[in-house]
A and B are shown apart, each in its own frame.
Chain A
Amino acid sequence: MDRFKAVFFEEATTLINELERVSLLLHNNPSDSSITEQIFRIMHTLKGNSTMFGFYRIGDFTHHFETLYDYIREGKMSVTDNVLNITFASVDHLRVLLTDVELENSVHKINHENLIRGLIEVLNGTSGEESIKNNSSDHKIENKVSDSPTYWVKFVPEKGLVRKGTNVLFLLDDLSQLGATYTVSNTERLPDFKKLDPAEIYLSWEIYVSGSVTENSILDVFMFVEEDCELEIRKISETNLLDQDGFSTIARDVSLSIDDKILKFGGLVKKSSSKSRIEEVRNKMEKANERSIITSKDNSISSIRVASEKLDELMSLVSELVTTQARLNLVSEQIASSELISISENIEKITRQLRDNTFSICLIPIENLLVRFQRLVRDLSTQLNKDVVFVSEGADTELDKNIIENLADPLMHIFRNSLDHGIESGEERVKKGKPAQGKILLKAFYSGNSVIIQIRDDGKGIDPEMIRQKAISKGLITADQNLDRRQIFDLIFLPGFSTAEKVTEVSGRGVGMDVVKRQITEIRGEVEVESVLNEGTTINIKLPLTLSIIDGLLVKINATHFVIPLGNVDKCFEANHEEFVDKINDLIILDGEQVPFIYLRDEFDIKENCPQLHQVVVVKQDDRRVALSVDTIIGEYQAVLKPLGRLYKSVDVISGATILGNGEVALVVDPNRIIKEYIFNQIHNEVLQ
């Protein structure tokens, strides 16, 4: 059963996330009935599922919640701020309930009781008469009557009943389970043999049942066929008639009506037919019908849920395949058999398609993150007493799921900053001639092989001069250092820099933009800030589409292969060995421009076979250019990234390794780190001088 519970939790989490998303929609359109309908449906499913798995507390909680939205969709209540607040609180509480189903934590328990009380109060505030007590008690327990009454059941099935998959004999069987039965079959409808259709039912029955039977238990037998037959049930005696002498003679007499028979049996008790019951069901149905008129369009796409480990495994298998494929190519070229080459080419084609497909499977739209931000904006703006609207564009832009997972934290931080420090209070905004309502825009779009995410607010912006002063006061730069606008904004990302004048509850908990930068760099992204005073701030994040395979430039130094991510490669040059040695300032002139260089042979301590002519790869990161010297450039290469082991953690200029077709290992260079290292060395040198 635990296995199912895991599935239940997964499904419940999805439902709660959906509930949160829809609730946010409701926040924006409180009068949209299709949204309340959706919330009702989600609650209904959650209630059903949790009860089915025995999570009664969740079931109980969702029951109240469901009642609330039932009232709303029936127009008995409207969506007030109070309702919205309790809705969001409930969303949070439901998440808690999933982790603490039995409410062992007393805080959770108190919260649970408070919320239920709150829900009940909200409900009672409008219509008190229909209590929210469990109203599923309409299964009346009939008074057990003395010994064993006798019922008479007349059952005339519709001829076509078999076509609905019903086996009529089972019904008679079930009836005989209820007690002692005596069945009389009526063959009146039986046609001439030639006209007989074996798939039709011509017989009908009168059944006498005696035992601890009730009308309901008989009706239950016919539950599925009530509308496809003529059914009459009568209690003909409080005692068991079946045992009486002469019973069968009377019962079998087709010339007598049931009333006559009852007279003959010597006692009539009560006449009732299933009609009334059917009527009742009909009424219920009609009521339900009215309710469900507002069924909103189900826009769910057919999909299956897969555990993310399975995807990671698939991804790693595909990576292996790509590597092995490279090897196959190499071998088939060496063997030079045309047949083998054609097979290898075919496999290469399929491998590529498989790889692309697998990639696209691992991509999920950014939309998955948005609910969190919407929620954050809603909660924070309420807390800070600011009116802020959150707008997103390009929510369908897709990114690798691992990137998305790692993006949530830094983005949250950026949002918090915008709300707390960026957007001004309402009065301040009006004074400045801006609309009172602030706006945060998240825009995502593709740009070549990358995805750009912009977070833009229309707040007070950042004053570059202030940043400068702050950086000087913190000793991050010297007062005479000349920095351009871009470099000044980049100071924000330095550790220990925080523009917030006061530490507030919302942001500024000691986590600065340097952490944001680090988190984004870890997923091979870049981040930059652009801001115009009094107009707002824009944070640009550039991200790779995927983490596991990169397009690289394969280069070689002596016998070692290196891969430089193609996205970072700016230009390639050739230069003589002399240009690199004995330089004081480590600058090389390329295209008439001075470019700092890193002599990789020194960096990696490779001394043998130094060529006269070097190849120079200029890499770029955040607008900084650094030239890297290598022996030879082999060409473009699709590298499947393998993490380096624990022991190589400290080697940070290498971000991973890849296996080449011939089985050799190539190291993947991290240009970002190299540039950092360069800057570090430069500063270090300056200090020494």
Chain B
Amino acid sequence: MKKTILIADDSESVREVVSFTLINAGYNVLVGVDGEDAMKFLDGKEIHLVITDLHMPKKDGIALIKEIRGKAEYQYVPILFLTTESQAAKKDEAKAAGATGWIVKPFVPEKLISTIEKVIR
């Protein structure tokens, strides 16, 4: 069965590239334009992985991670966040909020898939 991955990012190009890569790798992809938008997908359906940006309008990545962890049905879902090397401080915060791991931007598709495979398979 195809695994479902939810992406939350306010950058259209990141969304497009990530979803393109994931769809090609055989995943189902759901896309939210910010944290609030992404939350609408977390309505009980099965989601195997969440990939979120940290800087987003409305609801940022940290808040999204916390909210997902607060939902009983998603408390164990792996969450990866997108980060840049310059955001090291945010990494701690995101980990503390319950994130599983991170993906450093910019990334090449192979790296994205190999990182994802660290947490789901």
B77 at the interface (CB under 8 A from A): yes
Bound state CA distance, A47 and B84, in angstroms? Answer: 11
What is the 8 Å Cβ interface bit string for chain A, positions 373-405, against chain B (1 contact, 0 not)? 000000000000000000000000000000000
In the complex, the chain B residue whose C-beta lies closest to that of A11 is B13
**Contact present for A52 and B76 (CB under 8 Å):** no
Q: Describe A's contact surface by its main secondary structure.
A: helix
Contacts of A162 in B (CB 8 A): 76
Contacts of A224 in B (CB 8 A): 100-102, 118-119
B105 at the interface (CB under 8 A from A): yes
A288 and B76 contact, Cβ closer than 8 Å, known pairs A7-B12, A166-B119: no
What is the 8 Å Cβ interface bit string for chain A, positions 298-314, against chain B (1 contact, 0 not)? 10111011000000000
Bound state CA distance, A45 and B54, in angstroms? Answer: 13
Output the least CB separation between A470 and chain B (Å).
Answer: 53
Contacts of A298 in B (CB 8 A): 55, 57
Q: How many residues of B contact A (CB 8 A)?
A: 41
Contacts of B87 in A (CB 8 A): 288, 292
A604 at the interface (CB under 8 A from B): no
**Contact present for A52 and B79 (CB under 8 Å):** no
**Contact present for A163 and B98 (CB under 8 Å):** yes
Output the least CB separation between B56 and chain A (Å).
Answer: 9
Output the least CB separation between B33 and chain A (Å).
Answer: 7
What is the 8 Å Cβ interface bit string for chain B, positions 37-78, against chain A (1 contact, 0 not)? 000000000000000000101100000000001000001111
Bound state CA distance, A8 and B89, in angstroms? Answer: 28
Contact residues of A between 318 and 354, Cβ < 8 Å to B: none
Bound state CA distance, A194 and B19, in angstroms? Answer: 44
**Contact present for B69 and A4 (CB under 8 Å):** no
B121 at the interface (CB under 8 A from A): yes
**Contact present for B16 and A48 (CB under 8 Å):** no
**Contact present for B95 and A3 (CB under 8 Å):** no
**Contact present for B107 and A285 (CB under 8 Å):** no
What is the 8 Å Cβ interface bit string for chain B, positions 84-121, against chain A (1 contact, 0 not)? 11111101100100111110011110000000001111
**Contact present for B13 and A49 (CB under 8 Å):** yes
**Contact present for B20 and A4 (CB under 8 Å):** yes
A166 and B16 contact, Cβ closer than 8 Å, known pairs A199-B76, A288-B89: no
Bound state CA distance, A424 and B84, in angstroms? Answer: 50
Contact residues of A between 48 and 75, Cβ < 8 Å to B: 48-49, 51-53
In the complex, the chain B residue whose C-beta lies closest to that of A226 is B95
Output the least CB separation between A239 and chain B (Å).
Answer: 29
Name the interface size band of chain A: 35 or more
B17 at the interface (CB under 8 A from A): yes
**Contact present for B88 and A288 (CB under 8 Å):** yes
Partner of A44, one of B10, B84, B100: B84
**Contact present for B16 and A3 (CB under 8 Å):** yes
Contacts of A49 in B (CB 8 A): 11, 13-14, 106
Partner of A170, one of B55, B85, B121: B121
**Contact present for B69 and A163 (CB under 8 Å):** yes
**Contact present for B57 and A167 (CB under 8 Å):** no
Contacts of B95 in A (CB 8 A): 164, 227-228
Output the least CB separation between A7 and chain B (Å).
Answer: 5
**Contact present for B57 and A300 (CB under 8 Å):** yes
Contacts of A260 in B (CB 8 A): none
Output the least CB separation between B87 and chain A (Å).
Answer: 7
Output the least CB separation between A394 and chain B (Å).
Answer: 25
**Contact present for B16 and A51 (CB under 8 Å):** no
In the complex, the chain A residue whose C-beta lies closest to that of B108 is A52
In the complex, the chain B residue whose C-beta lies closest to that of A136 is B85
Partner of A7, one of B13, B34, B69, B105: B13
**Contact present for A292 and B86 (CB under 8 Å):** yes
Output the least CB separation between B51 and chain A (Å).
Answer: 12
**Contact present for B12 and A305 (CB under 8 Å):** yes
Contacts of A291 in B (CB 8 A): 86
Contacts of A7 in B (CB 8 A): 12-13, 16
What is the 8 Å Cβ interface bit string for chain A, positions 1-44, against chain B (1 contact, 0 not)? 10110011011000000000000000000000000000000001
In the complex, the chain B residue whose C-beta lies closest to that of A302 is B57
**Contact present for A163 and B75 (CB under 8 Å):** yes
Contacts of B102 in A (CB 8 A): 224
Contacts of B17 in A (CB 8 A): 4, 52-53
Contacts of B57 in A (CB 8 A): 298, 300-302
**Contact present for B89 and A48 (CB under 8 Å):** no
Output the least CB separation between B43 and chain A (Å).
Answer: 19
In the complex, the chain A residue whose C-beta lies closest to that of B16 is A4
Contacts of B118 in A (CB 8 A): 170, 174, 223-224
A-B pairs with beta carbons under 8 Å apart, 18 shown: A7-B12, A11-B13, A52-B105, A53-B17, A163-B69, A163-B75, A165-B78, A166-B100, A166-B119, A167-B78, A167-B120, A173-B121, A281-B88, A285-B91, A291-B86, A292-B89, A298-B57, A302-B33
Chain A positions within 8 Å of B, measured between CB atoms, are 1, 3-4, 7-8, 10-11, 44-45, 47-49, 51-53, 162-167, 170, 173-174, 199, 223-224, 227-228, 281, 284-285, 288-289, 291-292, 298, 300-302, 304-305
Chain B positions within 8 Å of A, measured between CB atoms, are 10-14, 16-17, 20, 33-34, 55, 57-58, 69, 75-79, 84-89, 91-92, 95, 98-102, 105-108, 118-121
Closest 9 pairs between A and B when the two form their complex, measured CB to CB: A224-B101, A165-B78, A165-B100, A285-B88, A52-B106, A288-B88, A302-B57, A289-B89, A48-B106
A165-B100, A292-B89 given; name 12 further pairs at CB < 8 Å.
Answer: A49-B11, A49-B106, A51-B106, A52-B14, A53-B13, A163-B69, A164-B100, A165-B76, A167-B120, A224-B118, A228-B95, A285-B91
